[in-house]
Amino acid sequence: MDWTKYGFVKASKYRTKIAEALAISPNTPSQIALETKLFKTHISTVLKELVNEKIVECLTPNLRRGKIYGLTQTGKTIVVAIQNDSLKKVRVVRV
């Protein structure tokens, strides 16, 4: 686990939402925007950040429009860790 990249994703709600959306299935920025209810301009900006960190990759780099993005293996590992972290928070019960 690359904890620096984990922290990078976890530090932003947008990065976390987009990574979790891509964990379900690879998608276009427009589809991600619909699914996450975030603005498409924010999606594009965050996708560039995630691609630069090698958390997300463009699966159709030769297309000008309709590019499809998916998680790298590092991205998949990070999303699993984030989801496990969320489950731990739900299980903690104060008495």
Residue 22 has pLDDT above 90, yes or no: yes
Residue 41 has pLDDT above 80, yes or no: yes
pLDDT, position 2:
85
83 — pLDDT class (breaks 50, 70, 90): confident
The CA distance from 76 to 61, in Å, is 20
Mean pLDDT across 40-58 = 95
Q: What percent of the chain has pLDDT over 70?
A: 89
Helix (H, G, I), strand (E, B) or coil at 65: coil
The CB-side HSE value for 35 (13 A sphere, CA atoms) comes to 18
Q: Within the chain, where are the H helices?
A: 3-10, 13-24, 29-36, 40-52, 73-91
- Hey, what domains does the chain have and what are their CATH numbers? 3-91 (1.10.10.10)
